Amino acid sequence: MFGSPRQRLLGCLTLLPVLAVAAAACSPAAATAPSPASVDPVAGITVGEGEVDIQLWSDPSCPHCMTLDDAIGDELADVIANGTATWTLHPMTYVSAKRGDTTDYSTRAAALLFGVAAAGDADAVLPLYELIQQNQVSAEGAPTDADLVGFAAAAGSSSDLSTAITDYAAIATAANEAWLCAAIPGTDQVVDHVPLLVIDGTVFEVREDGTDAARFRAAVTDATAD
């Protein structure tokens, strides 16, 4: 299971014309508690140091986010590993409630991602993200907090994450509230659905028609040439 490049790396409702994405019902953001000084929820989680800027708004409970990760995840891992791109993940948390999930999987999983990043385990973020997407809530149930911490260990994190889900839940919520219905700088796009992928300031069209991986690769190549 852990042989992919990622493991080796250690109210405004919008429907896109080609597929239904997880759309958000947007309302004014509520006030949130102050964030720990080490974490900026708006900045997201950044991995890599490449010239091409890749930004992803994604929710751990979004089936389309899982499909996109299946399509482009290995390509994404490659361009991070070879120094071509920097990836910033903006975890969103609204889809759990939208799908009627009472386990709060979106917030718990997003909190763990923030915790792993804050612990300095950058190499574990992308493989952890993959495991979180692969293990979304299903008819069989939802991953427990212990399961999620186990995913982090499997992804390569060696940090003590026993309290990370509780510690960073407010950060995950703050990130969601900050970005929901907010404009993405440099684009005409607002965060009204997930997944949202932006490559060097250009919004990537997610189609789920078998072309996403090749078009992602071409978009990164074009951004590199620029």
Cα distance between residue 24 and residue 98, in whole Å: 8
Cα distance between residue 23 and residue 196, in whole Å: 11
The predicted model scores a pTM of: 0.87
Q: How confident is the model at residue 17 (pLDDT cuts 50, 70, 90)?
A: very low
What pLDDT is stored for residue 213 in this prediction? Answer: 98
Domain boundaries, the chain: 5-10+41-225
> Chain-wide mean pLDDT for the chain?
88
Q: Which residue has the tokens 């080796």?
A: 8
Largest CA distance in the chain: 47
What pLDDT is stored for residue 226 in this prediction? Answer: 83
The CA distances from residue 97 to 104, 105, 118, 161, in Å, are 7, 9, 26, 25
Domain 5-10+41-225 is classified in which CATH homologous superfamily?
Glutaredoxin (3.40.30.10)
Lowest mean pLDDT among 23-37, 50-64, 92-106, 142-156: 23-37
Per-residue pLDDT tens digits for 40-93 = 999 999 999 999 999 999 999 999 999 999 999 999 999 999 999 999 999 999
